[in-house]
Amino acid sequence: MSKKMQITLNVNGTRHELLAEPRTLLIHVLRENLGITGPHIGCETSHCGACTILMNERSIKSCTVFAAQADGAEITTIEGLGTPDSLHPLQEAFREHHGLQCGFCTPGMITRAAQLLKENPDPTEEEVRFGMAGNLCRCTGYQNIVKAVLAAASEINTAKEAAQ
Ligand code: FES
Ligand code: FES
């Protein structure tokens, strides 16, 4: 067994200090050490996007990153985007537009979409499809996911205009 390393992760606003082997993947630390089970493990080979999280303002697939590489990082998971009482506009839109069925892909989809809308607040349908291409869904056929992301973009932009 290799020597464990001391790492610090700031997840959803909470600082965690823990020990992890150099080979341990970030998704495993999140789920198994910290009990943050929103990000899912689908393929573990960077194809499905179920494990998508935000790390230092970028969306990443947490099965492709060693926990040690995330030392000191600011991380947001689906748990940090909204709460049951105050859903993120994307969570609301996925519910409203039936953007999920089994829900396995949904935490990764929504987290990826949050970053997409940050980088491109008013995307076209084609841009949403391109931007979400790294996240796979076995259930929905994608139509309602795209609809939900576009609806959330419009909702966020309307709220921003109203606040000006
Ligand atoms: Fe990470 Fe599939 S579990 S991309
Ligand atoms: Fe089932 Fe996407 S809703 S995998």
- State how far the Cα of 112 lies from the Cα of 110, in Å rounded to an integer: 5
The residue to mutate among 46, 112, 137, having the most atoms of ligand 1 within 8 angstroms of its beta carbon, is 46
> What pLDDT score was predicted for residue 75?
98
- pLDDT tens digits along 59-75: 999 999 999 999 999 99
Ligand with the closest atom to the CA of 40: 1
φ, ψ of residue 4 to 5 degrees: the values are -80, 150
List domains and CATH numbers for the chain. 5-80 (3.10.20.30), 89-163 (1.10.150.120)
Number of residues written out for the chain: 164
**pLDDT band with cut points at 50, 70 and 90 for residue 164:** confident
Ligand with the closest atom to the CA of 105: 2
Cβ contact 105:137 at 8 Å: yes
> What pLDDT score was predicted for residue 68?
97
Q: What percent of the chain has pLDDT over 90?
A: 97
- pLDDT tens digits along 109-134: 999 999 999 999 999 999 999 999 99
* Angstrom distances, CA of residue 133 to CA of 24, 112, 145, 158: 27, 10, 12, 26
Q: Judge if the beta carbon of residue 41 lies within 6 A of ligand 1.
A: yes
- State how far the Cα of 51 lies from the Cα of 121, in Å rounded to an integer: 23
Residues 6+ apart with CB under 8 A from 164: none
> What pLDDT score was predicted for residue 48?
98
The residue to mutate among 31, 40, 51, having the most atoms of ligand 1 within 8 angstroms of its beta carbon, is 51
- State how far the Cα of 6 lies from the Cα of 4, in Å rounded to an integer: 7
Mean pLDDT of the chain: 97
Residue 1 pLDDT > 70: no
Q: Judge if the beta carbon of residue 50 lies within 6 A of ligand 1.
A: yes
- pLDDT tens digits along 77-113: 999 999 999 999 999 999 999 999 999 999 999 999 9
